[in-house]
A and B are shown apart, each in its own frame.
Chain A
Amino acid sequence: MIGRAFVAEIIQQGINALLLGCTYTLIAIGFNLFFGALNVVHFSHGDVCILGAFVILILYSLAKFLGLVAVLPAFIWVPLIIIVAMLLTGVLGALFERVVIKPFRYAPLLMVLVATVALGMIIRETVRLSFPHGSNPQIFPRILPQKSITWGGVLIRMDNLIIFGMTLFLITLMFLFIKRTRIGASIRAVSQDGEAAMMMGINIDHTVAATFLLGSALGAMAGILIGAYNNIIRFDMGLMGGVKGFSAAVVGGLGNVYGAIVGGLILGFVETFAAAFIPGGTPYTDVFAFLVVIFFLVFKPSGILGEKVYEKV
């Protein structure tokens, strides 16, 4: 007999899974955008995302120092610093592409791969060194309302609801941007065929920069979600976040932006439910997630929504 408590537990875990899935989706969208634009996997993307959370940390202290926090109501300054943080991270992401990825555009694939892994290390270490006691977890400011409501045995936190809403809003906005605007059209064109797009008069450098700006800004949102959800951030969270985001992109189908949503949700559900319903499974959630990824890589490397790639000689 399935009790009410059990149903409530499943719904509760489902909400958690959805939130985790949102984070992975936001990171995975970046991986898919970059892969579409340049056929590269930006292994330091996870670190760029966490960088976004650290930018929030700086902006929050700055806003507090300037007295904005005390003067303005929360619904004005919170979106304000989030938008500024996303923009800043986006610009940084585009800058990283220009400095570290662009020189390898025509080089063997191995080089850009190793270079981005090294870039990730540079970002992590820079963050660690530039914050006081940077090796320890930093307390993430509680910028979202902390209220919660209980509904039929299910606890719904206000900040989680906002996180979910913001993710949906941003993803919708991104799809509109890609479908309806001129830059979005060129991003799609470049991802279909870079050379042909160039012949049609699309400036590839600008388009790639726009892609990295967009992807990194969405990634910053993911970093902020991680910070808001855990209430702490640590400099090396980006490594795991990046690997998970890339995993989500691969499970969904690398290069397909819709795939990011599917992959992110699958990974989020696997992790949450493994932790909740496998006895003693909590410490091994990441292991389950990676086993799922390896399973997909072996049996369906193109992902759920990806196209099959044929090698050309």
Chain B
Amino acid sequence: MSLQKLFRGVFLLAIEVAFFILFVAFMETNEIAKVIAFLLFFIGVGILFKYWKAGNDALVELFREMRTLAGIGFVLLLLILPFGLKGNPYLIHICVMAGLYAILALGLNFQLGSTNVVNFATAASYGIGAYTSALLAVHYGVSFWLGIFLAGSMASLFGLVLGFPCMKTKDYYLSLVTIAFGLIVYLLLVNFSWTGGPNGIPNIPSPSFLGHSFKDPLNLFGFELPSQSNYFYLVFLFTGGALFVAHRLHHSRVGLTWNAIREDEIAARCQGIDVTWYKILAFCIDAFFGGVAGTVYAHYIGFISPENFAFIVSVVVVTMVILGGMDNVFGVIIGAILLTILPEKFRSFEDFRLLIYGVIVVAMLMFRPQGLFPQKLRVYKR
């Protein structure tokens, strides 16, 4: 029995390691032909498991049974990812951006996925967070670690401000309010002189931790990793935290309430749910996530301008949630990672990026509205 268990554990780790090696190899290819070959391979595996029910069930069962082991293995592999990428700064940069988008998408998922509130103001909270901490750091020397809380709170405050008019409205009207809010924030950032106007804010200081500045290369076990890996571990930590919060929220009473509002708002109200309060809660948590991601982005790149927070960013994040699978925490993260990495791999088609996003959204909504990884029904133990 225990020998079989050991065997199964080794098998599970082998799958994870194989996936890790494939992922690293995929990240390192630059030729279009190879990238397409990899994609076809992944799609093929996906289709195989879609029709091979027994194998799919066995795999799901294996991962469910050894959840802790799978989690530990996954975390360890992610921690050695910068080594796996041989310290390539560009590839690590892509991973950092994927992590930031994952945080944004997780935040939006509370609204778009869980509550069915279409919010096109993600870029606004992202921008408010980035500008808050950048201005505090540049003018008042506030440290990154304090700034990140202030930025998150500031974004939440704006989420609250946005939330109130939104609660009087719904559906199309609500989307109009969020689009208008996003455009207002963008216009104000462009026109205010104290935010640097269209030129933005340059020279945002890098954070430091225990005397180690994030600008410097990271020395770990005798290996020297580029400065991007500092942020890789930071974003890893934050994404992990966001994932934890999102997962716990989904399985809490709050998540259940959000789903009830999504299914039928009037019915939810009749059940005694304070719809307004729970929707505003979703707005605030989303804005907080956006603010945190914005702060990390500002200090990581060291320069922000209004262009980084235009309406398009919101649409891109919406695309990530829809592609990954609405309300599915893990699916949303995979959607964010896919839509960050793939455009980088198809750099020669950079011009077509937004066009392809648009086509992906329409096609997904038509043919697979539940996303790549649909959320399963909640299962409760008896």
Contacts of A286 in B (CB 8 A): 183-184, 187
Q: Which of A10-18, A148-156, A292-300 contacts B (4 or more CB under 8 A)?
A: A292-300
**Would you call A104 and B365 a contact (CB within 8 A)?**
yes
Please tell me which one of the listed residues B188, B311, B357, B362 contacts residue A115 in the complex, with CB atoms under 8 A apart. B362
Task: Count contacts on A: residues with CB < 8 A to the other chain.
Answer: 43
Q: Are B171 and A293 in contact (CB under 8 A)?
A: no
B359 touches A298 (CB 8 A): no
Q: How far is the CB of B382 from chain A (nearest CB, A)?
A: 32
Q: Which residue of A lies closest to B311 (CB)?
A: A239
| B374 is an interface residue with CB less than 8 A from chain A | no
Are A110 and B362 in contact, with the CB atoms below 8 A?
Answer: no
Name the contact of B177 in the complex, choosing from A108, A117, A254, A297 (C-beta under 8 A): A297
At the interface, yes or no: A176 with Cβ under 8 Å from chain B?
no
Q: Is there an interface contact between B351 and A240, defined as CB atoms closer than 8 Å?
A: no
Query: Would you give the 0/1 interface string for A93-132, flagging 1 where the beta carbon is closer than 8 Å to chain B?
Result: 0000000100110011111011101111110111001000
Residues in A with CB closer than 8 Å to B355 are 121-122, 125-126, 129
B352 partner, pick from A117, A118, A125, beta carbons under 8 A = A125
Q: Select A117's contact among B120, B165, B267, beta carbons within 8 Å.
A: B120
Could you tell me if A294 and B173 are in contact, using CB atoms closer than 8 angstroms? no
Chain A residues near B220 (CB, 8 Å)?
A: none
Q: Binary interface profile of B, 164-189, with partner A (CB < 8 Å = 1, else 0)?
A: 11001101110111011101100110
Chain A residue numbers with a CB within 8 Å of B266 are 311, 313
- Whether a CB of chain B sits under 8 angstroms from the CB of A269 is no
B177 to A100, Cβ gap below 8 A? Answer: no
The smallest beta-carbon distance between B6 and chain A, in angstroms, is 47
**Is A41 on the interface with B (CB-CB < 8 A)?**
yes
Whether the pair B365, A121 counts as a contact (CB closer than 8 A) is: no
Known: A243-B179, A247-B180, A290-B180. A284 touches B361 (CB 8 A): no
**A125-B355, A129-B351, A290-B183 known; A118 vs B315 contact (CB < 8 Å):** yes
Whether A250 touches B176, Cβ cut-off 8 Å, given contacts A125-B352, A301-B168, is yes
- Total residues of chain B contacting the partner, CB 8 A: 43
Q: Which residues of B contact A283 (CB under 8 A)?
A: 187, 190-191
In the complex, chain B residues 332-382 whose Cβ is within 8 Å of any chain A Cβ: 351-352, 354-355, 357-359, 361-362, 365-366, 369
B106 within 8 A of A: no
Which residue from chain B places its CB closest to the CB of A286 in the assembled complex? Answer: B187
A residues near B169, Cβ cutoff 8 Å: 297-298, 301
Once the chains bind, are A115 and B365 in contact (CB under 8 Å)? yes
B318 at the interface (CB under 8 A from A): yes
B183-A121 in contact (CB<8A): no
Measured CA separation A301–B366 after assembly (Å): 31
Residues of chain B in range 3-19 having any CB-CB distance to chain A below 8 Å: none
Instruction: Enumerate B127-173 residues with CB–CB distance to A below 8 Å.
Output: 164-165, 168-169, 171-173
Could you tell me if B176 and A293 are in contact, using CB atoms closer than 8 angstroms?
yes
Q: B228 to chain A: which residues have CB within 8 Å?
A: none
A to B CB contacts below 8 Å, 8 in the list: A111-B369, A121-B357, A129-B351, A239-B311, A247-B176, A284-B187, A287-B188, A290-B184
Give me the 4 closest cross-chain CB pairs, A-B, nearest first: A118-B361, A125-B355, A122-B358, A121-B358
Instruction: Given contacts A243-B183, A290-B184, list 20 more A-B pairs with CB under 8 A.
Output: A104-B365, A107-B369, A108-B116, A109-B172, A117-B318, A118-B358, A118-B362, A118-B365, A124-B354, A129-B351, A239-B311, A240-B183, A254-B172, A286-B184, A286-B187, A291-B184, A294-B181, A297-B176, A298-B164, A311-B266
Q: What residues make up the interface of B, taking CB atoms closer than 8 Å to A?
A: 112, 116, 118, 120, 164-165, 168-169, 171-173, 175-177, 179-181, 183-184, 187-188, 190-191, 266-267, 311-312, 315, 318-319, 322, 351-352, 354-355, 357-359, 361-362, 365-366, 369
Instruction: Name A residues whose Cβ lies closer than 8 Å to a Cβ of B.
Output: 41, 43, 100, 103-104, 107-111, 113-115, 117-122, 124-126, 129, 239-240, 243, 246-247, 250, 254, 283-284, 286-287, 290-291, 293-294, 297-298, 301, 311, 313
